[in-house]
Structure 1
Amino acid sequence: MSKLLGAAAWTVALAGCATTANLAPPAPAPAAAEGEDARITALLSRMSLEHKVAQLIQPQINSVTPEEMRQYRYGSYLNGGNGGPYGNEFAPAADWLKLADEMWEASTAPLPNGEPAIPTIWGTDAVHGHTNVVGATIFPHNIGLGAARDPDLVRRIGAATAAEIAATGIDWNFSPTVAVAQDDRWGRTYESYSEDPAIAAELGSALVEGLQGKTSPAGRIGDGHVIATAKHFFGDGGTAQGVDQGNVDGDLAQLEAIHARPYPAAIAAGVEAVMASFNSINGTKMHGNKPLLTGLLRGTMGFTGVVVGDWNGHAQIPGCTNSNCPQALLAGLDIYMVPDDAKALHASLLAQVKDGTIPLARVDEAVGRVLRMKLRAGLLDPGAKRPSARVNGGKLALLGAPEHRAIAREAVAKSQVLLKNNGVLPLKRGASILVAGRAADDIAQAAGGWTLTWQGGEDLTNARFPGATSIWAGLKTAATEAGGAATLSPDGSYSARPDVAVVVFGEKPYAEFSGDRKDLVFADTEGLDLLRKYRAAGIKTVALFLSGRPLWMNREMNAADAFVASWLPGGEGAGVADMLYGRRPATGRLSFSWPAACTGQPVNGPEGALFQRGYGLSFGQATTGARLSEACAILDARSAEWFDLGRLGAGITARGGEVALPNLRGMGGGITARGIDRNRQEDAREIVFAPGATLTLADAGRATGGFRIVYELATAPTAPVTLNTGGKALDITAGLTTSAGKGWRELIVTGACAPATGRTLSITSAGPLTLRIARIARQDVPAGVDCSF
């Protein structure tokens, strides 16, 4: 293992964040710290072991009731991305507050024998505003804020978000994400401020300051503010091939210099919590990585707050399950995020303390950290009030308040990055504007993931966003105020010829692993077709691209007169109009490099970049430039379907062992294959492997190329699984383990890991395995494309 960075190295690493460092609040005074220690020691001495253990357990609201809270006294609880009070993810704000009061009252009910009743706290993922709650202000996602690069703006966003969170009775925000995304294929890239760790450190610490308020010399969180969490420690943005929750390989000191760099800045800003990451570092899961959770974070960086786990992240440690994992606590985790197995985990931890597996001193240490965080939040003060009676508690008018929406609108305008402009921007007064594309009047698409629902989008109509403004609505108002007119056309048609067409298009919403990509090519042609249509008609165009990352857009850039990277601006579409009409200057600058070539590979830094980090045009900087190459082997790749839409392709056979499985259904050779519904009736197959069984597909012809397999795996393999093609066996166990439980994924087998000449594809499982398959295609995968899961 490489030597950990020392304190001097961290001082050098933070040199690029002088602004944040200068604003960092002072550390608690020695007398204050001693006072905290004495109070915590006194509380611990009066707590039962059962209630100490409960402080380390965090269930979700879908799985814990106030009655169970009264019984167990869990130290905290959370709402998941699709969770809401009383089973309603679209519950009104008043219901969130009502549940918070109920949980508080349950946790503070008197206990016998003078034992202190420790109030519970509620944690939420308010990653771009308090966006789990209907009516809250929806700010741009972090990638847009990275393009704005305005620490004061981010600080104000944090304060506004804290006020809205506190209004609904919630105490704790699992934000900011300070990941330094290095592979834009990662589905959480938009949660990263930048590929540059200095930018992530600067803006992440600013959000901490905004969320927690001006921390006092005693380390107390400001009234009306909430606990912040820096996440995910560490390496979440550096996994191989951008696979969510995957592995990060490399020299440890070099990895720390990139991915751990934002944490000292967040610690200096007073962050009270750090969330452990799902990923592994050189094969070791972070939830069980003592050298990093304890040695680096606490020893080298000096963090004294709470380390909280991610959603059942402890269960990914070898030998652990959701309900049994002493390894995580021993490694340095203080709170288990265990959404649905709280009771069973409580029982196992209690037994492990009693039998000596977990030292009582480690329990007291972890509980003491939880108590300190609650003390600094004012929750252990004499006369501490229930959530609805606090400074901002119950002030539901704060949700979507005009002053908060004004901050969001400013952030939207500042986050727009002008990448091309042939003189069409800013839009002229009096112009007739056609606003085209299905995304133009779709607030959910502009907001992206983590908006009301975990993945966002889907069937969320504008009616779900009271008070918010779509991009179309913002442009319509701006056009009228400028003496012109605007027309909405989702399909791009028009009767009266416009002066300019603004084409709004982009990625559909996603979150986490559902957003993982195999390449950086934007294949959807809705926007491209409209841009080419208007160009052929001689109509000037502005391309407004909604996305959670840079993507290869050469075709669209060639077709447009102006091209704007709008990212995921959120719920204040008028901010886009402010920039397009020149009401605010074009000041956005890329915080991620933009790819020049259609290679499927990420670009971090100048090599291979069409636009380098820091690029962005101001008004008056017209660009014509040479025509960009539109050649793209990924788009041109020929494909032969071996299995798709519930049918085997022509000339393709399947068998279990030596027994034929007509149309990939039936039993034989230890294989049971049956039809299941994915998107339509029996369009996929569930394949059950007995130990040692082999499924083989064969092509009667001579097709060549790589394989693309769309699959789903509910649980990880318990024994090795191999894939064989072209006479080469590949151990795919680790990849399947990483993908287990994450919905439908795509496995790509290319010439980088297997010959492209094999006429058969076989999968063998040494143990029992249930694998679902929706599609198997033979494809000419371009050279250089990685094999991946």
Structure 2
Amino acid sequence: MFRKYLLIVVVFSGILSCENPDSRLMEASFLTRPTPKIEALLAKMTLEEKVGQMAQVTLDVITKGESVYVSNEPLELDITLVKEAILDHKVGSILNTANNRARTPEQWNAIVSEIQDIAVNQSRLGIPVIYGIDAIHGTTYTAGATFVPQQIGLAATWNRDLVRRGAEITAYETRASGIPWNFSPVLDLGRDPRFPRMWETFGEDTYLASEMGKQMIKGYEGQKNDVSKPTKVASTLKHFLGYSVPYTGKDRTPAHISEMELRERHLPTFQAAVEAGAHSVMINSGIINGIPVHANREIITNLLKGELGFKGVVVTDWKDIDNLHFRDKVAATRKEAVKMAINAGIDMSMIPYDYDFCTYLVELVKEGEVSMERIDDAVRRILTLKDELGLFEQPVTSLADYPNFGSKDFELAAYDVASEAITLLKNDGILPLRKGSKILVTGPNAHSMRTLNGGWSYSWQGEKVEEFAGSYHTILEAIQSQAGASNVEFVEGVAYNHEGKYWEDEVKDLDAVIAAAKRADYVVLCLGENSYTEKPGDLHDLSLSANQLNLAKAAASAGKPVILVLNEGRPRLISSIEHQMQGVLQTYLPGNYGGDALAAVLFGEVNPSGKLPYTYPMFGNTLVTYDHKPSEEQNKMEGMYDYESDFAVQYPFGFGLSYTEFDYSDMEFSRGSIDPDETLSISVSVTNVGNVEGKEVVQLYISDLFASVTPDVKRLRGFEKISLKPGETTRVSFEISARDVAFVARDLSWTVEAGEYEVNIGELKSRFSITESKTFNQVKKIL
């Protein structure tokens, strides 16, 4: 949006399949046919009332203030404007906060209660409003809520249970705020580090993102998707489809994606989430192959609602119907833009500032340009969502029923997630640090809660974090707490210019940093990014700023060990300084407990176990993902010249060190070959051969050695996170089918071909074969 995450057996269920979607989806309760109550209500509604249900305005529109863009503080609803929205224009949904800032849970309950009182008690049919918010790493716009790491950090845990637990906390505290609808999770893939919303994704891999997405939906909605429960919210899958890979790397710019790529990489995360029972979908704000997705019937209706069998609500992103006219130039008027989007399959429009959408859509229906069947389909979906949420029975929850809001249990869970996300990328024997050591802490990210949280934290761009997060520990404060304030010296060196752009920083005193470094035993250098998201986060250079790089060189010049702590939403280039660092830790955007978690890792209280959910690039022209094609590594091929085009990455996908070591041995297959309808069990022994207890992510990769379409060098097909004491061994097993190694062929069918496949777990490799080829489904071309 544009204002405002032992024996172990892994059973694959064909999540990448698009075959017979309805047969696998009908168990989710919200996909049953609408109740007689909904059908009776729909039959009573006028055209204007139906169209109003399809409209969503932002909170600023109905508050007292100088304009629809600015509200008074303290915030107060303007009852006349609320009635205009709900009684005159029949608006069925409100979203967002006002003045782009967080509110207390008490304020939220009061706001939503006033809105619902008018909707339920004063409108002709008494239909409750559905309120939506972007609660993407905690209840974003509620003061005092529990913030877990952003999605890229969640992915770095490679821990399904922690991801689900974080979502459960978010759902609880969002409902405690009186809000039942959450615009999360992001299921776009973070395959381009230039993209400003990469940190909102689960990283570059389809399988990892699919698994984490399913867990987040379970956390938000519950195992059976019964969102009428007062601790659950309706989730929203975003941004359907292919939003995160624009050609330029900049937000909301055109993407060029083949249909094979779209189906094999970008569709499976959404397919898995639809199968997991998600209640709503938000559409990609961008353009794919020249067609804005908000106007693309093939993607919204034919693919999402038809092929995938999605029966929930499809909502636009912020002002995106208007963008068809003003930005994308495919609609000559705003009215034509409404016609295009609704006929493409949009159910609800995030307007967000005026009611022209309602006027235009009523006219379009009366003129025969939009059918009443299309309107009824959209409204039926919206009313069913409201019914599933229990809003007809209880339009707003009561804060008094949520005693665990901001509780210690929730705080400890957030701390655990942040701890397991932190990824140790380099350690020249310097970590963990010795207690009693003299430590210099320096860098623009050292003493900032804003940088720990990132965007969508108390405000859209995260610039208001310091107003709300003063009770939590920055990295500096957490290190002082661990090491003792007298052992820690702080010299900022470089500071962000908060009066300018988010990326602007300025040098303070590098000579002071060098002098302090000489007095210290260790230097903890905290570099990265200030908070940002969406268009404001676009950048022209992926390298860290020149000022930060110069600070790193200055700190290293003192001759003391330097531990580089990265606090960033995307992997900024560090190749010019990495060789001068004795340790490197990636914290991502760990939330309010990130400072405490980092300090615990630095001093060995927590053994780091995070693994990269993306490939960390070395140079600006080596932005390659781990699942690349063999031609990216031509210099490795026998008989090829060395063109200096090697696969140069700083750190590979799935990489992360520990304070202990793990040994892999005895990989076994249940059989040497399988036919397309059989499964194969793969097992391996993992031993902790170090001196401390640690957690390891066992990662299963499979390579299709030869195929009719150039195969990827390898693909992640399974993972499990285990914990082992020193000397302990466990057996880890995976079970795969031929379907799990299928690819999208030229005819767009999911296909497995006879031949050899190589399995890689740790340093172990072995092969099995598939005896014959098989096509699993047939689909229609959509692009």
Q: Same fold (TM over 0.5)?
A: yes
CA contact (8 A) 2:517 2:555 kept: no
What amino acid sits opposite 1:465 in the alignment? A
Cα–Cα, structure 1 residues 501 and 78, in superposed 2: closer, same or farther, change >3 Å?
A: same
Q: Where does residue 300 of structure 2 map in the other structure?
A: 293
Q: Does 1:356 align with 2:368?
A: yes
Contact 2:29/2:224 (8 A) holds in 1: no
Q: CA distance change for structure 1 residues 102 and 602 in 2, over 3 Å: closer, same or farther?
A: farther
- When residues 258 and 497 of structure 1 are mapped into structure 2, their CA distance, relative to the original with a 3 A threshold, is same
Matching residue of 1:562: 583
Name the residue aligned to 1:89: 101
- Equivalent residue for 2:471? 467
String of CA shifts for 1:665-719, please: whole Å, max 9, x gaps.
Answer: xxxxxxxxxxxxxxxxxxxxxxxxxxxxxxxxxxxxxxxxxxxxxxxxxxxxxxx
Q: Deviations over 1:170-218 (max 9, x none)?
A: 11110000111222111111111111111111111111111112326xx
Query: Which position in structure 2 is the counterpart of 1:344?
Result: 356
1:768 equivalent in structure 2: none
**1:442 counterpart residue number:** 448
For 1:191, the aligned partner's letter is E
Q: In the TM superposition, what are the counterparts of 1:698-709 in structure 2 within 5 Å?
A: none
2:457·2:465 contact (CA, 8 Å) conserved in 1?
A: no
Provide the rounded CA distance (Å) in 1 between the counterparts of 2:445 and 2:350. 36
Query: Which runs of structure 2 are paired with 1:306-321 in the superposition (5 Å)?
Result: 306-317=313-324, 318-319=330-331
Q: Residue 174 of structure 2 aligns with which residue?
A: 165
Matches within 5 A, 1:208-219: 208-215=217-224
CA distance in 2, matches of 1:106, 1:289: 36
Q: Which residue of 2 aligns with 1:189?
A: 198
CA contact (8 A) 1:63 1:340 kept: yes
Gaps of 5+ in 2: 1-11, 63-80, 325-329, 494-512, 629-646, 663-783
Q: 2:547 aligns with which of 519, 525, 538?
A: 525
Alignment-mate amino acid for residue 92 of structure 2: G
Q: Establish whether residue 477 from structure 1 lines up as the match of residue 481 from structure 2.
A: yes
Whole-Å separation in 2 of the counterparts to 1:507 and 1:220:
37
**1:275-302 deviation per Cα after TM superposition (whole angstroms, max 9, x unaligned):** 0011112111111111111111111111
Identify if the C-alpha distance between structure 1 residues 551 and 604 changes in structure 2 by more than 3 Å, giving closer, same or farther.
farther
Q: Structure 2 vs 1, CA of residues 618 and 26 (structure 1 numbering), >3 Å: closer, same or farther?
A: farther
Q: Contact 2:191 / 2:245 at 8 angstroms: preserved in 1?
A: yes
**Aligned equivalent of 1:615:** 655
Distance change in 2, residues 1:333/1:371 (3 Å)? same
Q: State whether structure 2 residue 434 is matched by structure 1 residue 428.
A: yes
Query: Is the counterpart of residue 265 in structure 1 residue 266 in structure 2?
Result: no
What SS class does the counterpart of residue 63 from structure 1 fall into? Answer: helix
Equivalences for residues 438-587 of structure 1 within 5 A? 438-457=444-463, 460=464, 462-480=466-484, 485-491=487-493, 492=513, 494=516, 497-526=519-548, 528-572=549-593, 573-587=595-609
Q: 1:366 — aligned with what?
A: 378
Classify 1:496/1:239 alpha carbon distance in 2 versus 1 (closer, same or farther; 3 Å). closer
- CA shift at 1:15, angstroms? 8.1
**Cα distance, 1:26 vs structure 2:** 7.3
Deviation (angstroms), 1:320: 6.0
Cα deviation, 1:278-329, whole Å, max 9, x if unaligned, reads 1112111111111111111111111110000000112233116556511111
| Structure 2 CA distance for partners of 1:348 and 1:161, relative to 1, 3 Å | same
Partner amino acid for 2:296? N
Contact 1:25 1:215 in 2 (8 A): no
The residue matched to 2:519 in structure 1 has which SS?
coil
**Which of 52, 55, 70 is the aligned partner of 1:54?**
52
User: What is the aligned-residue identity percentage?
Assistant: 30
Relative to structure 1, the CA distance from residue 496 to residue 613 in structure 2 (aligned partners, 3 Å threshold; closer, same or farther) is closer
Match for residue 284 of structure 1 among 278, 291, 295: 291
| Match among 36, 45, 49 for residue 38 of structure 1 | 36
AA aligned to 2:375 is: V
Which whole-Å CA distance do the structure 2 matches of 1:575 and 1:248 have between them? Answer: 38
Q: Residue 335 and residue 448 in structure 1: after superposition, are their counterparts in 2 closer, same or farther (change >3 A)?
A: same
Q: Which amino acid aligns with 2:192?
A: D
Q: 1:146: Cα distance to partner?
A: 1.3
Asked if 1 retains the 8 angstrom alpha-carbon contact of 2:445 and 2:529, the reply is no
Specify the code of the residue in structure 1 equivalent to 2:615: S
Counterpart contact for 1:66–1:102, Cα < 8 Å = no
Tell me how far 1:601 sits from its aligned partner: 4.5
* Secondary structure of the corresponding residue to residue 255 of structure 1: helix
**What letter matches 1:514 in structure 2?**
P
Of 165, 183, 189, 1:180 maps to 189
The question of whether the paired residues in 2 share the 8 Å contact of 1:183 and 1:241 is answered with no
Match of 2:696 in 1: none
Q: Residue 93 of structure 2 corresponds to which residue in structure 1? A: 76
Offset of 1:543 from its aligned partner?
A: 0.6
**SS of the residue aligned with 2:597?**
helix
Are 1:404 and 2:410 counterparts? yes
- 1:220 to 1:173, Cα distance in 2 relative to 1, 3 A: closer
User: Which secondary structure does the structure 2 equivalent of 1:522 belong to?
Assistant: coil
CA shift for structure 1 position 105: 0.8
Deviations along 1:505-552, whole A, 9 cap, x unmatched? 2112111112122342223333x3444334333322211011111122
Of stretches 402-411 and 594-603 in structure 1, the one that deviates more from structure 2 is 594-603
2:229 & 2:376 partners in 1: Cα distance? Answer: 27
C-alpha deviations, 1:379-424, integer Å up to 9, x for none?
12xxx224243xxx35576443222221221111111111111111
2:233 aligns to what SS in structure 1? coil
Aligned to 1:329: 342
Instruction: Verify the 8 A CA contact 2:544 2:574 in the aligned structure 1.
Output: yes
Quote the offset at 1:28 in angstroms. 4.0
8 Å Cα contact 2:56/2:350 also seen in 1: yes
Distance 2:423 2:144 in 1: 28
**Residues of 2 paired with 1:533 and 1:602: CA distance?**
31
- TM-score (normalised: structure 1): 0.70
**TM-score, length-normalised on structure 2?**
0.70
- In the alignment, which of 246, 261, 273 is matched to residue 239 of structure 1? 246
CA distance in 2, matches of 1:499, 1:97: 51
CA distance in 1, matches of 2:379, 2:586: 46
Say if 2:52 and 2:358, in contact at 8 Å, map to a contact too: yes
Report SS of the residue matched to 1:577.
helix
Q: Quick one: which amino acid aligns to residue 51 of structure 1? A: E
SS at structure 2 position matched to 1:579:
helix
Q: After TM superposition, give the deviation of residue 13 of structure 1 in Å.
A: 5.3
Q: C-alpha deviations, 1:427-484, integer Å up to 9, x for none?
A: 2233232222232110001111111221223xx463421432212222222224xx98
Cα–Cα, structure 1 residues 173 and 322, in superposed 2: closer, same or farther, change >3 Å?
A: farther
Please tell me the residue identity of whatever aligns with 2:379: V
Mapped partners of 2:618, 2:371: distance in 1: 55
| In structure 2, C-alpha distance between the alignment counterparts of 1:551 and 1:497, rounded to whole Å | 29
Conservation of the 8 A alpha-carbon contact between 1:130 and 1:164:
yes
Work out whether residues 520 and 600 of structure 1, in 8 Å CA contact, stay in contact via their aligned partners in 2.
no
**Offset of 1:153 from its aligned partner?**
0.6
**Alignment-derived partner of residue 413 in structure 1:** 419
SS of structure 2 residue aligned to 1:240 = coil
Higher RCO (Cα < 8 Å, 6 or more apart): 2
Task: Tell me how far apart the structure 1 counterparts of residues 468 and 217 of structure 2 sit (CA, whole Å).
Answer: 29
Q: Secondary structure in 2 aligned to 1:494?
A: helix
The residue aligned with 1:99 is 111
Cα deviation for residue 353 of structure 1 reads 1.3
CA RMSD of aligned residues (A): 2.7
Instruction: Find the aligned partners of 1:266 and 1:602 in 2 and give their Cα distance.
Output: 26
The one-letter code sitting in structure 2 at the alignment partner of 1:502 is V
Secondary structure at the residue paired with 2:309?
Answer: coil
Write the distance in 1 (CA, Å) between the matches of 2:359 and 2:246: 34
Query: 1:27 maps to which residue?
Result: 27
